[in-house]
Every structure is written in structure tokens, then in C-alpha cells.
Amino acid sequence: MDLKPAAVVTGAGRGIGRAVAVKLSAEGYRVALTARGEDELRATAALCAGETLVLPADITSSEAIDRLFTAVEDAWGGAGVLVANAGAGESAPLVKTTDEHWARMLEVNLTAPFRCVRRVVPGMLDRGYGRIVVIASVAAKRGEPYITAYAASKHGVLGVVRSAAAEFAGTGVTVNAVCPGYVATPMTDQTVAAIADRTGRTPAQARAALAAKQPNGRLVTVDEVAGAVWLCVTNAALNGQGINVDGGGVQS
């Protein structure tokens, strides 16, 4: 039986990345898992149905990215699927957004996915097949108060997706983004804690406020995001898209 292409999932230690890795593994993919925390990656690997590689790395390091994809090439001949999920979120009023805050958001959410795409795509082009999916955000489609740097980074990575999709159209390589709203993840837990600290609301009130931002009145689940990623992996006619998974908040 032919093996399915190998997949690389960044930010695979928890949340969306873990759900995507488990989904791909359940569908028969060999999955390389990367994030900073080895313990979380091994917990994800234990949930996967098939073969995995646990490759701890700092995704903001270009050298670490090269080592990551070299390891996948050595083990499996390269990656046919990349899910660039690793990301971070911080909020601040625009006038209090420091240069350091700005740089962190762009480095993690924009530069790191770009570097991963740049590193993985030559092998995909050589094989005439590739599926690249970047986990962006509905903040790639609209602005909100207090997230200038985060929204800028997500708008930017959607531009990378669209340009790469146009460049590689017809090669067998597709490039798409999945744009979730507020998802029930550890990152959202941090947002809830920050809102509670800043506003004096209880964590339950802060979480309810985030859920209310979405027309269906609840947080998105990680499995719903993973389902959208799977659609991008399996449907070759999807290319250059930013697929919203937000309960209907952004209609496009």
C-alpha cells in the first residue's frame, strides 16, 4: 500500500495544532510534530494513530526551521503537507504597542510561516504535489481595537498565502489559510485572563464576551478548525483562499 504524504504541523503541542495532527494521523498521514515544548509534543504523539516524529524547535529561528525540514526529508523523503499553525497573540492600545511587541507578533505570525513555506515548497514543486495551510485568523480580514500588531501580522500572512497560491497555481501545490474566530484553546484562555485582569470582569464574564462576538454565540472548537484544514488538504480546487471558521462573523 502506498504511504500518504508526510505532514509537518507547527505549534503541534496543544490546541489547534494538536487537533490537526490527530486528524491527519487518523487519516493515515505520517506527522512530524514541532513546537517548543517536547513534553506537549509527546502528549500529542500519544494521541496520534500512526507514525510521528517529535521535533522540538523554536519556529522563529531560520536555522531551526531548516533542521526541522531536513529531519523530515531524512526520515520520510520530505513533506507533502505543511500546516503552519504556530502563532501568538498579544494585545495593547496602539500608542502603547512597543517596538518589541510589534516585532514579536510579526516574527511569530508572519516571518516564521513565510520561512516554513519557503523551505518546504521546493520539494513539493519537485514532486508536483503539495498542500500548504496557514492558520491565520479572522483578524486577517478585519481590524479590532487593541490588536494592531496581531492584526497586521495576520493580514500579512494572508498576503503571503494569496501570493504563493498565485505563483504556484498549476504546479500541483496549493496554498490556503484557515481563519478562525475565537477558539477554545490555551491561547484564548490567556486572552480571557488578560481581559479579566484589565477590566475587572470575572473569567467567566470575559469568556462569555468573546463567545458573544460570534453570531452563533459560542467559541469555535479545535476540531472545527481541523475540519477546515482537512478540506484544504483534500480539495485540490481550493487555492489562495482564507476560509473563515467563526460562526458567521465575517461573511466572504
Return the C-alpha cell found at 59: 519556529
Asked if residue 30 lies in contact with residue 48, where contact means CB atoms within 8 angstroms, the answer is no
All residues at 6 or more sequence positions from 5 whose CB lies less than 8 Å from its CB, including other chains: 29, 79, 80, 81, 129, 131
Per-residue exposure over 168-179, b if at least 16 CB sit within 10 Å of its own CB, e if not: beeeebbbbbbb
Asked if residue 34 lies in contact with residue 41, where contact means CB atoms within 8 angstroms, the answer is yes
d(CA 96, CA 114): 27
d(CA 209, CA 198): 14
* From 29, 129, 146, 150, the catalytic residue: 150
Question: Which amino acid makes up residue 90?
Answer: E
Asked if residue 19 lies in contact with residue 226, where contact means CB atoms within 8 angstroms, the answer is yes
Q: Is 29 an annotated catalytic residue?
A: no
Say how many Å lie between the first and final Cα of the chain, rounded: 40
d(CA 75, CA 8): 12
Residues taking part in catalysis: 150
